[in-house]
Structure formats: C-alpha cells, structure tokens
Amino acid sequence: MDVNQEIQNLKNKIRELNREYYELNESSAPDYEYDQLIRQLRKLENEHPELLTADSPTQLVGGTAESMFSPVRHEVPLESLNDVFSYDDLEMFISRTKTALGKAAFFTVEPKIDGLSVAIEYIGGRLHLGATRGDGLVGEDVTENLRTIDSLPKIIKNAPWRLIVRGEVYMSRETFIRLNEEREIKGEKLFANPRNAAAGSVRQLDSRIAKERRLDIIIFNLQYTDGEPFSSHAASLEALSEMGFPVVTHKLCESYEDCRRQIISIGENRESFPFDIDGAVIKLDSIADRTFLGSTSKAPRWAAAYKYPPEEKETVVEDILVNVGRTGVLTPKAVVAPVRLAGTRVTNASLHNQDIIDKLDVRIGDTVVIRKAGEIIPEIIGVNRSLRKTGAEPYKIPNRCPECGSAVLKDPDGPSLRCTGLECPAQLLRNIVHFASRDAMDIEGLGISVSEALIRQGLIKGPADLYYLDKDSVSALDRMGEKSAQNLITAIEKSKDNGLARLLCAFGIRQVGQKAAKTLSRHYPNLDALSEAKQEDLTAVPDIGPITADFIVSWLNSPQSKHQIKLLREAGVSFDSREEISDTRFNGKSFVLTGTLGGMTRGEASAMIEKFGGKVSSSVSKKTSYVIAGEAAGSKLTKAQELGLKVLSEEEFLALLS
C-alpha cells in the first residue's frame, strides 16, 4: 500500500470514530487505540508534508453541530489539545514553551475530565446560553438541558456583565452505575461508559430526560469577560470559584519534575474523583504568555494533554464466577490475585462471554495479562501459556443458571447465554417491572422503587405474588401511605382482566413483544390452548418463526413458568383472549400464489389466508398445502404438478372461504 492510500485509510477510520464519539455518543475503539491512529497519521504527514491537507483530522476538532439543535457560533473558539504520551514528550513541551518565552514559567496541572465540553454564557449575572463544542467554532444550543444541572449556578453574584466559561459536563460513576441498572431493568440499551451517558443526556431534545440523568459539571477555563482581566489562569479559577462555580482542581508547578509528580499523583488517585479522567492537562498559567504563544489551527501552543497509557499487568486467575444480570444474561468474571492497576486494587476482571473465553483460552490457574484503560472493570487481554499448570481444564459456562437452576439458552442474535427462569432471583426486579409496564399488565404505580421495596421486604418472589398482596402489607413500605397502597392494590386487581395478549407480553418470553402477543392472542382463545400448541403449530401463525416458537414452547414448559401460571390461575387472573378470535380453518396450512387473480390482488388473497390461520409462502415445496393458480401461472404451477400438490383455481379458493 502506498503512503497516500495509507494516509487516506487512516483519515477515513478516524473520521468514522469521530462521528461515533461526537455525534452518536458511542465508541467502537478504546481511547488508546484512537490516539495511536492519530499519532500514526501525524507521523506520516510530518514525513510527507506534501500530503497534509486542511481537512485532515490532525488539523480539526472532531465534532459537528447537529441540525436538530440551533447552531451557536462561539465567541472564543473551543480548541482541542495536543496530546503527549510519554514523560519525554512532556519534558519537550515544557522546554519548548520556556524557550519560546525566553524565561521561566509556571504551569497548572489539572485532571482531564472525560465528559462533554461546553461553553456557558452569563449576561447580567444570569445564565443566558449554553452550547456544545461542536467543531470548535460552531456548537449546539443545549441551554435548557444545562439548566437542569444542579451544580451549575443559574445566577451568579458579583460577576461582570458578560461572562463566558468553559466546562466539562460529566456523569458521576455512582450515577452512571445506577442509570445503567435502571436501563437494564427496563430492557433498554446500556451506555458503554459515563462519558457517552453524559453526552447523550446533554444532547436530548427533551430537557426532562437530561434532568432525570443527574448530570454534573466542572468549570476549567474562563473564556471571556468584559470585567477586569485576570493575569493568570489560577487567579481566574479562584475568582470563578468565589462566584459559585465548581472549578477543576489545579496545582501550580514551575518545573518539569513538579509537573511530572503532579501527573503521577492524579493518576494514582484517579478513583478519588467522582468522574472518570482520561489524562492530565498542563497549561501555561500566565494569560499574557498564552496570548504571546497563540494557537495552531486546532490547538493552543501553551497547553498539552498527557494521556495515561493503558496499564497492563500479569496476575493469576484464582477462579471464574458467573454473574446473572437483571435481564438473565450470564456474564463470567475472573477472580484474580490482587494487583494494583490504574490507581486501584483489582481483584476481578471481565471475561464478557463464552466466545471471549474460548478465544483467549483462559483457564483457572492461568497467569494472565489484565488491562484497565478507563474502563470501570478491567479486562483480560492475554494468557501467558508458558506458565500454565499441567491439568488445567478449558472453562465452560454452566448450562444451568447458577442462581435458580433453570436451563440456559444461547441468544440467537449474539454470544450471550440467558437464564430462562421466571422466578430467577437475579432477574426478579426486572421481571416485576416488565410485568407491570404499560405494554404488559399496565399496573399504575408499580415502578422500580416500589418493586424494589416489595422485593426487599420479601413480599414478592415472582410476578404472580403481586395478586396476593394486601393493603396493610403494602402501606407498611417506606414512603408508601395508605392511599397510595390502596391505589396500587386497586390497579393490581384491575389488571386481572387485561386478557391473554397483555399477559403474554408481561411474561417476557424472548421475541414475544406486544405485536407477537396480540398475534398469538388472535389465534388462540386462551393460555391453555396456547400451552398445548407444538412448535409446528406455532410456526403456522403469521410472523411467528421457528426460533420464536421454540422460545414459547420452552418457556411454557419450564417448571418455574408452570408454577407462576398456577399461582396466576388461582389468583383469578384471566387467561382468555380479548382479541377478535379468527376462524382457524386454515390453521397449519401453507399456500403459494401464482399467476394473476381476476377478482382480487395477491395481497388481498394473502390477507384472507392469514386471517383464517394459514401461512403464505413464496416458494413451492413438499410442505405446501395448496397452490392457488391464476391466469398465466408459471414455473410454480409446473413444480406443484410435478410434486402432486393440490392446485386450486380462484373459484375453488373462494369456495373454501365461504
């Protein structure tokens, strides 16, 4: 591959990662890998300056403003920072800066917060406008979402008439864990990390969602003031703190050694911060000296970001345990001999799933390499097989749930293994919340907090237990008054008559959502009839494929499901369909249409077949029950005749419908 093509490939890869990070609030590559791509591109451009272009990712800030937000042109550009990846690079930056100034200089060293950068403008002491960084020149107006951040002052005293500050919106690790727990309970996609969660929350069109996410902010720079100018960055941060802003922790350093020691200290104590960090920022303190040095097209010459390399250390796998998540996913983790990594004492490492275990060939007793590069939980990235003990056996995740003993099924859409138990204690909260949700049994007042309280008090161990609650036991819960308790009991009682479709949706059977539940309810008069159906019967129902049919049959025949169904029946929950029951004369029959029909379209004929429980196929096979042949029927008719299948004219088909 020639250099020009290599540079173009790097540009395309980096642009796609930038789009994920800045616009989709996602990332398919760790920060370290992204940084290496930038370094590789910059190296090639330095070696071949004739190939450097103005639109290269090395010359631009990564983001763009989304059209769904009003654009905001920044008064002062929100620049990016040049990265340094070693202490040698850091020493060169400090030496180069002092040489350019021709004198000694002070620097501030601050943690580099991993969040979403914003600029916030105050006029007359009141919050006026807030915008994302965007491409550094034009960002997105997210004022209303920023107003929901409690730690950001809305009114400031003793402030200049006009003031613009720059900060980093973040989500604390504690809030992030809680948010993902709630999303897992609701069956929603989990956020990969706190940064993505914070960015996605700020860029919500509905500010109520941003408020629910409990975001925070740290101010790290004064962008503009029409008041008395400051001589130093540290002085400006102290003034902003006095105005009521939460400002970044910072330390003045004069020498390279001072800066290096502070960077090491920040790295070793990163767990003491409520937010994630992805490095340390070194800034020239003097505002006049900053002005003198200026900026490139992308970054200031007076600042740099030291990026901590991902730490990798060897340790020993003492055991492999399997956790069962709230959605039933079995996740293996390695219990490792304690090791200090990225400022924390590590005793566990993620193994993700069986595919990863097989790929790495991790075994109990192995010496492994673990890495932590910003992740909350470290991961195993390699095995030192030269130290493997004789007799170490390959590890397989159990085929029974370690929490409840139910069968484990592989997810057809990925590598995950899932517990199928309706009474599994690990999934209880999620199962209860889903059972009561709007699309399912629609029990008003039974949200996450009330469900947690009921479980905590031992009042419910499965969905059916809801129908055995009484007002006195519910009113005894924390923050649950007598009126609220009665309302909940009334809502639970009302849900008994919701019918089969809602009940099927509430069961949480894999691939049986609201639509599939209604389809099944139109074809089966009650739960008992559905329970007697075999896999081949279910696949004759429109939109129910063999995988879904297997899930339904397996779920209905599991001991835990049967126990819950028994309790629901005894509690008086209706198993009857509330949908219009179709005539099932074509149940289990497969039709193929060919040629042109005179009195109806193929779509109309298909709708009639499906209405009566039949299935329409596009190809003829031995399993085809009928071929309906219109005018100019082609090869499908010929094949049907060769196979000896029943061929119907349009008139004969209409006779079946009468």
H-type alpha helices, 207-276 = 207-212, 233-242, 256-268
CA atoms of 350 and 145, how far apart (whole Å): 34
Phi, then psi, of 41 in degrees rounded to 5: -65, -45
CA atoms of 235 and 257, how far apart (whole Å): 23
H or E element in which residue 356 lies = helix 354-360
Phi, then psi, of 284 in degrees rounded to 5: -65, 135
- CA nearest neighbour of 339 among 307, 370, 308: 370
Report yes or no: 85 and 323 within 8 Å, Cβ to Cβ: no
The radius of gyration of the chain from alpha carbons, rounded to an integer in Å, stands at 32
- List residues with catalytic annotation: 112
Look at the alpha carbons of 459, 491, 434, 477 in this order and tell me if their dihedral is positive or negative. negative
Report yes or no: 627 and 649 within 8 Å, Cβ to Cβ: no
- CA nearest neighbour of 18 among 65, 75, 62: 62
DSSP class of residue 388 equals: P
Q: What is the DSSP string of 481-535?
A: -HHHHHHHHHHHHHHTTS-HHHHHHHHT-TT--HHHHHHHHHH-SBHHHHHH--H
Rounded (10°) angle between helices 500-507 and 428-436: 160
